[in-house]
Copies of this chain bind each other. A is one copy, B any other.
Amino acid sequence: MSQTLIRFQTYDDPPPPSATTARVAAIRAKLAEAGFSGVIIPRGDAHMGEYVAPHDERLSWATGFTGSAGMAIVMTDRAAVFIDGRYTLQVRDQVDLSIFSPQHLIDEPPSQWLAAHVKPGDRIAYDPWLHTPGGLEPIERAITVAGAKLIAVETSPVDAAWIDQPAPPLAPVVPHPLEIAGEAAADKRARIAATLGDADAAVLTLPESIAWLLNIRGGDVGHVPLPHSFAVLHKNATVDLYLDSRKVTDGLAAHLGNAVRLRAPDEFGPGLDELNGKTVLADPANAAVWVFKRLEAAGAKIRKGADPVLLPKAQKNEAEIAGVRAAHIRDGAALTRFLKWVTEEGTAGRISEIQACEKLEDFRRETGALKDLSFDSISGSGPNGAIVHYRVTQKTDRKLRSGELFLIDSGGQYMDATTDVTRTVALGTPTAEMKDRFTRVLKGHIALATARFPAGTTGAQLDTLARAPLWAAGLDYDHGTGHGVGAYLSVHEGPQSISKKPIAQPLLPGMICSNEPGYYKTGGYGIRIENLVVIHEIAIEGAERKTMEFETVTLAPIDVDLIEPALLNADERAWLNAYHQRVRDTLTPLVDPDTATWLTTATRAV
């Protein structure tokens, strides 16, 4: 019997601007009932994650806009939707402009719009579960200055109006094996509890933090194996875990042990009340306003500080790094099969962007280890490759053609690691300009891959190395060079980052980052070369400083047909040839003979 394949990625067009007239009317009716002049509708949930469950898609329900970041404000007499530069076109396709005025999230922020439109005495509603104190602050200031009031509500007018709001997700929660995690949850609890200083407890609201701390995984949102839950870590290393009992699987309680008290989600509030008189650490960048209000009302002494799990989670242990290496070999073999296929079929004009995505998902599934994609693949041919956050849909789907470039940014979730890799391939013969640009991107990639740096160095300090070859030609790219990556967790994790932003977090041994410089010619083509790297401390003879370097773990050929060898110096050529030899030696045993033959050519020395 054939079984229908449930794909991890879908290609639906964003819904057209339907039905929001009735929805906005319903929201306004609820506003009127409660005497509010407006309501703030962020895109997000109580866990501040990048992916949200259908239950939390309030922004797209109210506005039609389905982008991955944004906010709306519905007032009785007007409404606005706030989006960033990525979505200026999409918002106009999806949103009824007779209802919503589109605004730029950064240049015309909600606080500014509210300052212009609220009247003295206005009461503006917000859901305290959906905002952090840091995020809410400018909005609150603007409203207060205008003589109006920002009111936290128990049930948002949006949820009240949303009759058929999907239920919260209830994906099963399972133990994450010790041999993969590399450290028992009890040891993690004790280790983190010891860092709390004079705090009696820490409130954890980030699902990644809780999943890592307790060695559990779930599936409440797409692409990230996370269970939604809240937790309080006490200084005696015990934990209150607020998790819906319907998500608990056999053996989970035994895995968690007696030191972890499983409690119902609606006990989270009473649980915080129990911290009366205690000093409690909470992260104003990640925890909801609701948490701070409840702690305050409970009489807890709030210590604002970073989630204590963030940094330990970012520094992977030896078992995690071993998993990362193993997953990248498996993933690299699948990607290599794909690269051969896409180069041949794409040059022949026989496939589209969606077909490419589906084939790549197939190759990854054939490893037998794929749990999910790490994110929706970015599959851009020709001009679509120049759209940095492109997500192909039925409507935008485009045939791959000879003479063009094809960019594919994708990743897999495996039990032992999360991968994220971008390759750009020439279909047919590339132009001299394409080769010049690709080679500059490659030079930047190599400069970062081979960098050594002393303890204390931040990603912001290294970012320049990846850009300098493009800068030399008056070019640049408008995204970060690298983000942190989780281990069978979120493909984007902090606190490290490699970008122009002066983020003060030093790079530390065990951290995983992406190395992904790019170049984008609007209307022409996009180029990005992305590998993941792991940071290690190294011994150098004569060294006077504790020094670190990157180990590149991603394994897949970089298109040599796109390289202009005259632009590479001897060191760069040596790095590329050694990398390709490693790719060939490692992956050849794992692929079919045709792919092995192709790989030999694809990884030839330059």
Residues of chain A having any CB pair with chain B under 8 Å: 433, 451-454, 457, 460-465, 468, 471-476, 500, 502, 504, 540, 542-545, 547, 569-571
Task: Return chain B residues, CB-CB under 8 Å to A460.
Answer: 460-461, 502
Whether B461 contacts A474 by the Cβ 8 Å rule is no
Q: List 21 A-B contacts (CB under 8 A).
A: A433-B542, A451-B471, A452-B471, A453-B471, A454-B476, A460-B502, A461-B464, A461-B500, A462-B464, A464-B464, A465-B465, A473-B540, A473-B542, A474-B542, A474-B543, A474-B545, A474-B547, A475-B545, A476-B545, A569-B569, A569-B571
Contact among B465, B545, B547, B569 with A570 in the assembled complex (CB-CB below 8 Å):
B569
* Whole-angstrom CA separation of A474 from B544 in the bound complex: 6
Residues in B whose Cβ lies below 8 Å from that of A451: 468, 471
Task: Decide yes or no: A540 and B571 within 8 Å by CB, A464-B461, A502-B502 being known contacts.
Answer: no
A544–B436 Cα distance when bound, in Å, is 14
Question: Which 4 residue pairs of A and B lie closest in terms of their CB atoms, listed nearest first?
Answer: A474-B543, A502-B502, A474-B540, A474-B547
- Which of A464, A472, A545 has the most B CB atoms < 10 Å from its CB? A464
* Complex Cα spacing A201 to B471, Å: 40
B504 touches A544 (CB 8 A): no
Q: Which residue of B lies closest to A450 (CB)?
A: B472
* A503 closest partner in B (C-beta): B502
- Residues of B contacting A462 in the complex (Cβ-Cβ under 8 angstroms): 464
Which residues on B sit within 8 Å (CB–CB) of A473? 540, 542-543
A543 CA to B472 CA in the complex, in Å?
Answer: 9
Cα-based distance from A471 to B411 in the complex (angstroms): 32
Assembly stoichiometry (copies): 2
- Shortest distance between the CB of A524 and any CB in chain B (Å): 12
Cα distance A578–B472 in the bound complex, in angstroms: 19
Among candidates B464, B542, B547, residue contacting A471 with C-beta atoms closer than 8 Å: B547
Question: Within the assembled complex, what's the spacing in Å between the Cα atoms of A238 and B78?
Answer: 48
> Within 8 Å CB of A452, what residues of B?
468, 471-472, 474
Residues of B within 8 A of A475 (CB): 543-545
Complex-state Cα separation, A43 to B245, whole angstroms: 66
Chain B contacts for A463, CB-based, 8 A: 461
On chain B, the residues within 8 Å of A433 by CB distance are 542
A472 to B544 alpha-carbon distance, docked (Å): 11
| Residues of chain B contacted by A464 (CB below 8 angstroms) | 461-462, 464-465
Contacts of A540 in B (CB 8 A): 473-474
Q: With A and B bound together, what is the CA distance between A473 and B542 in angstroms? A: 7
Query: Which B-chain residue is minimally distant from A539 (CB atoms)?
Result: B474
Closest B residue to A453 by beta carbon equals B471
Which residues of the partner chain B approach A461 to less than 8 Å between Cβ atoms?
Answer: 460, 463-464, 500
Q: How far is the CA of A502 from the CA of B499 in the complex (A)?
A: 13
Complex CA distance for A542 and B545, rounded to whole angstroms: 41
Chain B neighbourhood of A465, CB < 8 A? 464-465, 468
Task: Give the complex CA separation of A545 and B451 in angstroms.
Answer: 26
Question: Closest CB-CB distance, A435 to chain B, in whole Å?
Answer: 14
Q: Cα distance A453–B468 when bound, in Å?
A: 7
On chain B, the residues within 8 Å of A471 by CB distance are 451-454, 457, 545, 547
In Å, the complex CA distance between A334 and B570 comes to: 39
Q: Which of A462, A474, A504, A570 has the most CB of B within 10 A?
A: A474
Closest beta carbon of chain B to A446's beta carbon, Å: 13
Give Cα A597–Cα B80 distance, bound, in whole angstroms. 75
The residue in chain B whose Cβ has the minimal distance to the Cβ of A569 is B569
**Distance (Å) between the CB of A537 and the closest chain B CB?**
11
Known: A452-B474, A461-B463, A569-B570. 19 other contacts (CB 8 A): A451-B468, A453-B471, A454-B474, A457-B471, A460-B460, A460-B461, A460-B502, A464-B464, A465-B465, A465-B468, A474-B543, A474-B545, A474-B547, A475-B543, A475-B544, A476-B544, A476-B545, A502-B502, A569-B571
A492 to chain B, nearest CB (A): 22
Alpha-carbon separation in the docked complex, A55 to B590 (Å): 80
CA distance A473 to B544 in the complex (A): 9
Give the complex CA separation of A569 and B443 in angstroms: 15
**A454, A461, A571: residue with the most chain B Cβ atoms closer than 10 Å:** A461
Nearest Cβ on chain B to A498's Cβ, whole angstroms = 11
CB closest residue in chain B, given A469: B452
Look across to chain B and name the residue whose beta carbon is closest to the beta carbon of A437. Answer: B542
Whether B500 pairs with A502 at a CB distance below 8 angstroms is no
Q: Bound state CA distance, A544 and B523, in angstroms?
A: 14
Give Cα A341–Cα B564 distance, bound, in whole angstroms.
Answer: 48
Complex interface: chain B residues within 8 A of A542 (CB): 433, 473-474
Min CB gap A85→B, angstroms: 16
CA distance A433 to B541 in the complex (A): 12
CB distance from A438 to the nearest CB of B (A): 15
Q: What is the CA–CA distance of A476 and B453 in the complex, to the nearest angstrom?
A: 9
Q: How far is the CA of A461 from the CA of B543 in the complex (A)?
A: 24
Q: Which residue of B lies closest to A461 (CB)?
A: B464
Q: How far is the CA of A502 from the CA of B543 in the complex (A)?
A: 26
Give the CA-CA distance A451 to B472 in the complex, in Å: 7
From A433, A502, A571, name the one whose CB has the most chain B CB atoms within 10 angstroms.
A502
